[in-house]
Amino acid sequence: MRVLHYSQHVLGVGHFFRSLALAQALEGHEVVMVSGGSPVDVALPGHVTHRLLPPLMMDADFQGFIPEENDPEAEKARLARIEEERRAALLDILEETRPDVFVVELFPFGRKRFAFELVPALERFRAMGRGPAVCSVRDILVEKSNQAKFEKRVLGWMNGLFDGLMIHSDPELVRFEETFPRLAEIDAEVGYTGYVVSEPVPGAGAALRAELSIAPKEPFVVASAGGGAVGGDLVASAVAASVRLSAALPHRLDAFTGPFAEDTALEALCSLSIPAGESDPAGHIHCARFTDRFPAYLDAADLSVSMAGYNTTMALLAARTFGLVLPFDQNREQRMRADRLQERGALAVLETADLEPDRLAGLMDEALRRSHERGPVDHGIRLDGAAQSAHFLERLTNSFKGRS
């Protein structure tokens, strides 16, 4: 197959990396990934080509695009220009690639602001008659101010423009109907795939520990903020907590600010690793902006301290590493998933009050001792979503061609 896969990240990098994991599972096919957020520096497998639309990102409240002009009229003109450039570029890519299947991540269950380019592209693809259009969506939708209006709009687009719906969830943990009650009214073929995650390469964690000179029984903690647009306070608290904890429980901490964090964030983070009364950073703390080996880091770790985004949470489950996670409370999605995983003993949910360094140091100490006593986390969650998504696309595309 030739697969065109559209994915738009607007705040963090989770959507991009979930789409990349799915693209990687389509080895043996030709995949063109189209993204429209800030560029992410990551190596791609040989069968994947990346096409970048003029970037658009949104603020933490999802209220506006950034950067934003001070003059409202100038901002309106800027966005109109970018939208036209993106719409034309996406249609050009569609005509160039002439894909056998068009995968769209999240829309129409989200990314309504991008209907200006997606609806024309989906209509053009349908007119081509080459193959199915498939929506790729995570397990939990964010709440809407007018749910009835939202559901009506989604059903209109789904039933008019799509042939398939891949739900990246384990229904034993979360059923899609819990946040989209009208699932049964969708005409497209619907399938649960399991969760999508880039699993660590067997032995990657042990190899990384050796590379970093971490002793076999030395506790290793990874603190991360995902993309870095939010979550900086959590990573800063983890570094401050690590300084306090090191005397009672020697360990190593690697902290990542995220690729979209402010330029000054890394320098500020490093300064927090300097113990009181000293001039040099604590030797057990290592700060960096980003790593493209994050699954290996989690596989190597005894504990993760992170935001509770879909990708980081699934990477934790894949590595079977215990995590302290802080849900992004702008919507229900992260907390709903994290609470259910906490009930299974797969992780522990942090509250804002837990970020006080002394309190977080205590929680980290407790979690590290738990990991030492119990070993890898046993959660029973389906994590084969990437492979099952590839099978879903192959089956649906073959069926479409058999009908045409």
Tens of pLDDT, residue by residue, the chain (404 residues): 999 999 998 766 778 889 999 999 999 999 999 998 877 778 899 999 999 998 887 765 556 676 655 667 887 888 899 999 999 999 999 999 999 999 999 999 999 999 999 999 999 999 999 999 999 999 999 889 899 999 999 999 999 999 999 999 999 999 999 999 999 999 999 999 999 998 889 999 999 999 999 999 999 999 998 775 677 899 999 999 999 999 999 999 999 998 777 778 888 888 888 877 676 667 899 999 989 899 999 999 999 999 999 989 999 999 999 999 999 877 789 999 999 999 999 999 999 999 999 999 999 999 999 999 989 999 999 999 999 999 999 999 999 987 76
The number of residues making up the chain comes to 404
The runs of H, that is alpha helices, within 213-279 are 232-245, 265-272
SS3 398: helix
Q: Determine how β-strand 65-66 pairs with β-strand 57-58.
A: antiparallel
Strand partners, 104: 6, 135
Q: Which two tokens stand for residue 317?
A: 């489950």
**What is the per-residue pLDDT for 37?**
81
**What is the per-residue pLDDT for 43?**
84
Is 176 in contact with 169 (CB distance < 8 Å)?
Answer: yes
**What is the per-residue pLDDT for 259?**
76
Residue type, 104: V
43's CB contacts (< 8 A; 6+ apart) are: 292
Q: Which two tokens stand for residue 173?
A: 């943990």
- How many C-beta atoms surround the C-beta of residue 247 within 10 A? 8
pLDDT tens, residue by residue, 248-268: 999 999 999 987 777 788 888
SS3 224: strand
Backbone angles phi, psi at 196, to 5 degrees: -95, 125
pLDDT tens, residue by residue, 67-81: 655 667 887 888 899
Sign of the four-CA dihedral 288, 292, 294, 297: negative
Is 91 in contact with 124 (CB distance < 8 Å)?
Answer: yes
**Of residues 345, 363, 320, the one with CA closest to residue 234:** 363
